Structure 1
Amino acid sequence: MTEGRPSHILIVEDEPKLAAVLEAYLQLEGFVTTILNDGHQVMPFIRSTPPALMLLDLMLPGRSGMDICRELRQFSALPVIILTARIDEIDRLLGLEIGADDYVCKPFSPREVVARVKAILRRATPAAAAADGLPQGQPGSQGLQVDEQFHHALLDGKELKLTPLELRLLALLMKSPGRIFSRDYLLSHLYDDHRVVTDRTIDSHIKNLRRKLQGARPDSEPIASVYGVGYRLEI
């Protein structure tokens, strides 16, 4: 939570009992919450009242969580944790490919969800500080600039709208430009809780990050794939 102001968590879940349990646990930790139970309600709400983070069920009446996340990523880096009962690898991968920051499989412990929320907000909260006029880099300057403290990244003076996980991944690659980072290394340093995730998860995050870098510097290959080894930053 930001200092002096409770963080607003949007819970998008159509199972009333589950939504109520999540709300109770989050409010107990001092968060402000809103519950929506229909997919059509989500985008209008976010545009009018942007939350700090969204818990998003995939299976919703009206509109699916996948469609919501795809549209959201066209204009916002709002942190998203997907809630899903569909536990096969393909669905997990799709959730990450559309820009989700994390996922939790049902049934889950509400305490685990709260812990995931806190972990992501710890990395994402500095973005709000940057918006309030704290250091953000020098617009118009060339090259890549990443400020993890204020969750801010620029390429050639253009702001990169990165999710917390994407910014963390970019910061890892920037530690040694030109060095090849293995998938195992990136996985072990991206997830604090050392969960079991596959190499394809990293591939999805790299794909999203590469697309955003290329948006700021077209016709470039900012992240090179080294077949059978890993990735290296070439900026």
Structure 2
Amino acid sequence: MKILLVEDEVKLSSFVRKGLEGEGYWVDTAFDGQLGLSRGLRGDYDLVILDVSLPQLNGFEVCRRLRAELPQLPVLLLTALGGIAHKTEGYDAGADDYLVKPFEFQELLLRVRALYRRYHDAGPGRTLSVADLTLHLTTKRVERAGRPITLTAREYALLEYLLLNKEHVVSRVDIAEKVWELKFDTNTNIIDVYITYLRRKIDKDFSPKLIHTVVGMGYVLRE
């Protein structure tokens, strides 16, 4: 696996690079956002590990630009900014995962492996579907009734989770833990907001409606 590590803390960058190389990965490094973006767009990388607080260009913007040009490139944000607002901004920028500093190297390694499998081991042509809605796991393409639907990375992850659990009710706690990897905060409506976003894109102009609310329990995807 070829990894781009964009991290301006020299000691941390060296630590992570040595650890990953010790696991047999090839690692390229950049120490500012502009260089990280340039290398990310030019290089043939399997995954990007990206700090948020970078000189010249912050990690959110780097992630956003990488995602626009290379939608199938996995991005793991690595940062000290661990609040829900920061995580939401990161996921909205297109990040696939978000690891807060300080962290154990083994946890970083597990997430790297999981992201690689998610993007590269899905198998050619593998899909998830319900009614006329289809999600292509390899290409990350979503379509309904043959019409392409553009989703953000977080909307895509939410839809994928609902499809994996179609016909089964999933609670807000389930979604928070499995999609956002957060402890569910009863004071936030972020999950309801993203369900609304998803409904506008896959249900508003189509019939039948596929995302259903089960009062007091959660959501279910079904015909």
TM-score when scaled to structure 2?
Answer: 0.74
Q: For 1:208 and 1:49, how far apart are their aligned partners in 2?
A: 36
Question: Is 1:198 aligned to residue 184 of structure 2?
Answer: yes
Contact 1:93 1:201 in 2 (8 A): no
Task: Say whether 1:183 aligns with 2:193.
Answer: no
After superposition, what is the alpha-carbon deviation per residue over 1:52-99, rounded to whole angstroms, capped at 9, x for unaligned?
111110000110001112222323242111111122332122222222
State the distance in 2 between where 1:205 and 1:114 align: 31
* Percentage of identical aligned residues: 30
Q: Over aligned residue pairs, what C-alpha RMSD do you find?
A: 3.7
In structure 2, what is the Cα distance between the partners aligned to 1:15 and 1:56?
Answer: 12
Q: Within 5 Å, which residues of 2 pair with 1:4-153? A: 7-75=1-69, 76-126=71-121, 134-135=124-125, 143-148=132-137, 150=138, 152-153=140-141
CA deviation string 1:100-147 (max 9, x = no partner) = 1211111212222111101111211136x6xxxx3367xxxx922235
Quick one: which of 193, 198, 208 aligns to 1:210?
A: 198
Secondary structure in structure 1 of the residue aligned to 2:110: helix
Q: Distance in 1 between matches of 2:196 and 2:11?
A: 34
Higher RCO structure, 1 or 2 (CA under 8 Å, sep 6+) = 1
Find the residue that maps to 1:63 and give its secondary structure.
coil
- Secondary structure of 1:59 counterpart: coil
Deviation at 1:234, TM superposition (A): 6.5
CA distance in 1 between partners of 2:126 and 2:214 (Å): 32
Rate the CA distance shift 1:119–1:165 in 2: closer, same or farther, 3 A: farther
TM-score scaled to structure 1, two decimals?
Answer: 0.71
Q: Does 1:173 align with 2:162?
A: yes
* One-letter amino acid matched to 1:170: L
Shift of 1:42: 2.4
2:219 pairs with 1:231:
yes
Partner AA of 2:89 in structure 1: L
Q: Distance in 1 between matches of 2:100 and 2:218?
A: 28
- Looking at structure 1, the residues matched to 182 and 15 of structure 2 have their Cα atoms a distance apart, in angstroms, of 26
Q: Work out the CA distance in 2 between the residues paired with 1:205 and 1:11.
A: 32
Gaps of 5+ in 2: none
Which shows bigger deviation, 199-208 or 97-106? 199-208
CA distance in 2, matches of 1:54, 1:111: 17
**SS of corresponding position for 1:73:** helix
Contact 1:10 1:34 in 2 (8 A): yes
Say if 1:201 and 1:94 are closer, same or farther in 2 by CA, change over 3 A. Answer: farther
Q: How many residues align?
A: 214
Q: For the Cα contact (< 8 Å) 1:183–1:202, is it kept in 2?
A: no
Name the CA distance, whole Å, in 2 between partners of 1:28 and 1:162: 36
